[in-house]
Chains A and B, each alone.
Chain A
Amino acid sequence: MIQRFFLAAALAVVMVVAGTSTYLYLGGKQSRVAAPPEKPTAATPRAQALVLPGTLYIAQSGAIYRLSAGRFHQLTPEAGWSQPSAFPDGSNLLAVKYNGYYSDVYVLNRYGTPIRQVTSNSSRVGMRDPSSNHWSFYPRLGPDGQTVWMSYDQPKYGYDVVFSIWAMPLNGSIRQGKLWTNSADYTGGDIQPVPVKTGVIYTKYDFGPDNRLVGRLWFSNRAYSAGRALTDPGEDCRSPAMSPDGTEVAMICTYEKQVSYLTIASWNGSSLGPRHNVVTDQQVAQPTWAPDGSGIAYLAPNLPDGPFQLWWLPKDAYAPPAPSPVPTPTPTPGGPHNSPLPSASASAVPTPAPVKPIEVTTNLGFDATSPMAWMS
């Protein structure tokens, strides 16, 4: 009788264990597509990743992080912070704080502490009239170190809310600011200003010849002038980034499709040269040049439809070094080269393996709409 009792109990335990194990096993077979990304501070870059030069500032989930010497450090709390950009002298950062109904530009020190609020875009009436608030995004400090360039949703008329490019004194207010561009109505407007010595490059959204909304890089050297298109509508380009030596522009071109190419073109101060697509098989966002010119960092998913990770494209991938000259053998009469000399094309010049992008992080989820800042 006692034996039967123990047998039944053992059987019951086995059944519970088997049932629970099956349940847990099936749970473990989930694809993990919905697994939330880790915090950058919880995961260091992969061991194989080289340590990127300088310090990179990058946003995830409303917080700004610093990547230096291969480690992430959280600079701000997760409180709507994004879009860091460096002061020309590297002393501080500009960044955006998003507050649901409005966003403002702040000056942060290199450790993420807010020093000063640059814009005041919240309205006194607040939520009673949402349209009385304003957005400021994509702040950049000009080469003079005194002028803040940004996208700002003024003027706006009723439903027609568009960004325009504005320039305002770093230590002043928007009332002292200058409207720089004339945005097209009902398009989203002009964004992503990149101040250069000769004017400002930015992205203008407008309807193309096929009546579809497209992005084009645009250049303007005078406030509220018509400006000039740098790219064609069919290229559908955005996110300009100037190289440290000011001679090349990296951008994202999407050709009116759900693709995203990293494209580079030379820049002569007023126009772009031929395009060079350097990454065409990823959803690339936010190209950012290394301050020492050694490559380009960008954001892209490492899995289809996954969160965006940090990638590094070494310079050799888009500007490979010229092959070293092959010494031409001198024929010696009666020597080993009395047969026809090999032609130059037939010379056994080893073809260098193509340089591929390096995946710096694998399980994070960076904000792909936030530009990165990179200081030496």
Chain B
Amino acid sequence: MALAVVSGGLAYFIPAASTAIEATGQVVHVATPSPTDLFTGSPTPTSTPVAAVTGAFTVLLLGSDDDSKFSSDHVLTQSMILVRVIPSQKKVIMLSIPRDLYVPLSTGGQGKIDGAYSYGGPGAAIATVEQDFGVHVDDYIWVGLLGLIKVIDAIGGIDVVTSNPVLDDFYPQDVFSNAPYGYERIAVLPGPQHLDGIHAMQYVRSRHGDLQSDFGRSQRQQQVLLAIRQKAKQLAPEDIPVIASAIGGELKTSISVTRVTEMLPLASSFDNPDSIQQVLLLPPYTHGGAPGGSLIAEWGLILPLVHRYFP
């Protein structure tokens, strides 16, 4: 009888376990950062040590165009958000790194920071962020376009107060289309609303109609991330199989299943919206003028700011 009950439970959770094993605990090879003259005291490279959940930790969130324009694992990271969680203070700091920032890459040479992942996977993305910003990254989470859509749909949508009308006549037609280099029109209307995956994706991805371009988009990405966190607080363990099967291979992380389980109660303990600090590297921290329309980093301003929040 007990065996039958256990078998029923296993049958229920096996899809989640299978997906979890595939998606989590990804081994990251962080390249030794080459010394740069941007700052002194470059961090010691590590292979993502596991910190206790009671202690502060830093996660690099990576969001990619993983559509048919790109081959697998050679994608650009359109969104890079450094998140520091301080459980003892119930505090979260989110720093959006502009994808067009022109930086020394850990794989050699210089380029836009969004290319680091395409040259060397998550290890290169982490190493680039560590060497350029002088921070230590404990773990990473990567999600593709379809992954974000599926996550949001799997949790039943999210409530967001969209800041303004987001109109784009040149929105990439690359997710559900056979013409990945084509364009479509989108109109996300403003105000409080319940967003499904596709509309949330349109809201966080569009940038043509925003004077602040990538910075405006970063603000919207942080809004949606916080809404996903808010919704995740309502999930039960029994929801995990449905969500896991929906996400499929659209999410990868170096965080182990055990650690994910340990972190779940942590998510619900951050109830005060004021405990979440959002940081953008707007001018004067960055400004235009770098090759290929990319952004120049004012490291003299950026590093003190970053080190204040990411010691």
Q: Which of B9, B227, B235 contacts A22 (CB 8 A)?
A: B9
Report the number of A-B residue pairs with Cβ-Cβ less than 8 Å. 195
Contact: A305 with B231, CB < 8 Å?
yes
A58-96 interface (Cβ within 8 A of B): none
One digit per residue, 1 when the CB lies within 8 angstroms of any chain A CB and 0 when it does not, for chain B 148-186 equals: 000001111111110111111110000000000001110
Check if B27 is an interface residue, CB within 8 A of chain A. no
Minimum Cβ distance to chain B for residue A308 (Å): 6
Kindly identify, within residues 211 to 256 of chain B, every residue whose CB is under 8 Å from any CB belonging to chain A. 211-212, 216, 219, 223, 226-227, 230-231, 233-236, 238-239, 242
Q: Is the CB of B190 within 8 A of A191?
A: yes
Q: How far is the CB of B130 from chain A (nearest CB, A)?
A: 30
Which chain B residue has the least Cβ–Cβ distance from A259? B161
- Please tell me if the beta carbons of B210 and A186 are within 8 angstroms of each other in the complex: yes
Candidates B11, B191, B209, B282; contact of A186 at CB < 8 Å: B209
Please report the C-alpha to C-alpha distance between residue A211 and residue B213 in the assembled complex, in whole angstroms: 13
- For residue A106, CB closer than 8 A to chain B, the reply is no
Q: Verify if A111 is at the interface (C-beta below 8 Å from B).
A: no
Which A residue sits closest to B184, measured CB to CB? A130
Q: Specify which chain A residues have a CB less than 8 angstroms from the CB of B155 in the assembled complex.
A: 33-34
Contact with B along A16-55 (1 / 0, CB 8 A): 1111111101110111011100000000000000000000
Residue B5 CB within 8 A of the other chain: yes
- A side interface size, CB within 8 A: 73
Asked whether A161 and B239 contact (CB < 8 A) given A21-B8, A34-B154, A365-B194, the answer is no
The chain A residue with its CB closest to the CB of B231 is A305
Residue A189 CB within 8 A of the other chain:
yes
Residue with the greatest number of chain B CB neighbours at <10 A, chosen from A133, A185, A284, A307: A307
Quick one: which of B1-46 are within 8 Å of A by CB? 1, 3-5, 7-9, 11-13
A33-B156 contact in complex given A131-B185, A215-B190, A368-B194, C-beta closer than 8 Å = yes
Pick the residue among A127, A160, A368 that contacts B192 (CB under 8 A): A368
Cross-chain contact A188 with B167 (CB below 8 angstroms): yes
Taken residue by residue from 120 to 136, chain A's Cβ proximity to chain B (1 for < 8 Å, 0 otherwise) reads as 00000001001101010
Evaluate contact between B167 and A14: CB separation under 8 angstroms. no
- Cβ of B187 under 8 Å from chain A: yes
Inter-chain contacts of A102 with B (CB < 8 A): 185
Q: Give complex CA distance A285, B194 in Å.
A: 11
Chain B: minimal CB distance from A233 (Å) = 13
A199 within 8 A of B: no
Does A252 touch B at the CB level, under 8 Å? yes
B169 lies within 8 A of A130 (CB): yes
Q: A191 near B165 (CB under 8 angstroms)?
A: yes
Q: Chain B residue with minimal CB distance to A22? A: B8
Which chain A residue lies CB-closest to B8? A22
Contact residues of A between 119 and 165, Cβ < 8 Å to B: 127, 130-131, 133, 135, 137, 153, 156, 159-163
The 8 Å CB contact of A285, one of B5, B187, B191, is B191
Contacts of A18 in B (CB 8 A): 1, 4-5, 8
**Closest residue of chain B to A185, judged by CB?**
B211
Asked if A317 is an interface residue, CB under 8 A from chain B, the answer is no
Given contacts A239-B191, A258-B227, contact A213 B209 (CB under 8 A): no
In the complex, which residues of chain B have a beta carbon less than 8 angstroms from the beta carbon of A304? Answer: 159, 230-231, 233-234
Bound-state CA distance A117–B170 (Å) is 27
The closest CB in chain A to the CB of B230 belongs to: A305
Q: A368 — nearest CB in chain B belongs to which residue?
A: B193
B180 CB to nearest chain A CB (Å): 15
| Most chain B beta-carbon contacts within 10 A, residue among A30, A103, A162, A188 | A188
| Chain A 248-297 residues near chain B, CB threshold 8 A | 252, 254, 257-260, 283-285
Which chain B residues lie closer than 8 Å to A318 at the CB level? none
Q: Give chain B residues whose Cβ lies under 8 Å from the Cβ of A131.
A: 169-170, 185
Q: Is B273 an interface residue (CB 8 A)?
A: yes
Considering the complex, give the chain B residue whose CB is closest to the CB of A160.
B209
Chain A residues positioned under 8 Å from B211 (CB to CB): 185-187, 207
4 more A-B residue pairs beyond the given contacts A29-B236, A31-B238, A159-B170, with a C-beta to C-beta distance below 8 A: A22-B5, A101-B185, A188-B209, A306-B194
Sort A-B residue pairs by CB-CB distance and give the 6 closest, nearest first.
Answer: A22-B8, A188-B165, A186-B211, A34-B156, A131-B169, A19-B8
